[in-house]
Amino acid sequence: MINIIAAIGKNSELGFENRLLCHLPNDLRHFKDLTTGHAVAMGSRTWDSLPKKPLPGRRNIVLTRSRSRVDGAEVARSAEDILEIAAKEEKALFIIGGAEVYKIFMPHADKLYLTKIVSEFVADVWFPEIDPGEWQVSDIEFVKKDEKNQYDLYFKTLTRKR
C-alpha cells in the first residue's frame, strides 16, 4: 500500500527554493505520528532539504538517478524500485515528496494525507492536481492557529475511490 503525505497551501503550493512553506510544529508532529515505523520514500532534492537526516524510526529511501549512494538512506534508482519495495513492506510506504516524486506516485497511491494550510505562499513547486472523480474525503479535522502555529489548517485524508 502506498500513502502520500504532504502539506500544501491554498493554491497547492509545496515549497520554495528547496524549503518548506513554513514551520508548523503541529504538522511536523502529525507527520511524525503517521510515518514513524513505516518506510518513507523521497526525491533527492527533498532528502537534501531535510535539516536532520535520516528521519529516525523510519526506513529512509531516496529516489535518485544520479547518485550511486546516499549516506544514511537506501537508494532507489527508479519508481519501479519503490513500487517493488512497497509491495514487500508489511505496512504502508509513505511518499513524502517532493513535487516530482508526488507526480510519479499519484496514480499508484491508495491514500493522500494532506495538510491544507489556510494561507497562500510564494512557491516554485506545487502538488499535482487531485481529480475529485478519483478521490473521496475520508477524514477531515480543522486545527486553529495558536501561539506556536502561525496558520489555521485542515488535516485531510483522501481515499482512492474503488
Ligand X SMILES: NC(=O)c1ccc[n+]([C@@H]2O[C@H](COP(=O)([O-])OP(=O)(O)OC[C@H]3O[C@@H](n4cnc5c(N)ncnc54)[C@H](OP(=O)(O)O)[C@@H]3O)[C@@H](O)[C@H]2O)c1
Among 6, 24, 86, 93, interactor with ligand X by CB under 6 A: 6
Q: What distance in Å separates the CA atoms of residue 19 and residue 34, rounded to the nearest whole number?
A: 21
User: Does residue 99 belong to the site contacting ligand X (CB under 6 A)?
Assistant: yes
Which set of grid coordinates corresponds to residue 108? 499508484
Cell 529516525 found at: 56
User: Does residue 74 belong to the site contacting ligand X (CB under 6 A)?
Assistant: no
Q: Which stretches of 64-134 are assigned E, i.e. beta strand?
A: 74-76, 93-95, 111-117, 125-126
User: Does residue 70 belong to the site contacting ligand X (CB under 6 A)?
Assistant: no
- Amino acid at site 38: H
Min dist. Cβ of residue 13 to ligand X (A): 8
Number of residues that bind ligand X (CB under 6 A): 29
Q: What is the largest CA-CA distance in the chain?
A: 44
Among 12, 49, 119, 159, interactor with ligand X by CB under 6 A: 49
Output 73 or 99, the one with its CB closest to ligand X.
99
CB 12 within 8 A of CB 102: no
User: Does residue 106 belong to the site contacting ligand X (CB under 6 A)?
Assistant: no
Among 4, 40, 61, 63, interactor with ligand X by CB under 6 A: 63
Residue 42 phi, psi dihedral angles, 5° rounding: -150, 160
Residues that bind ligand X (CB under 6 A): 6-7, 14-15, 18-20, 42-46, 49, 63-67, 77-79, 96-101, 104, 125
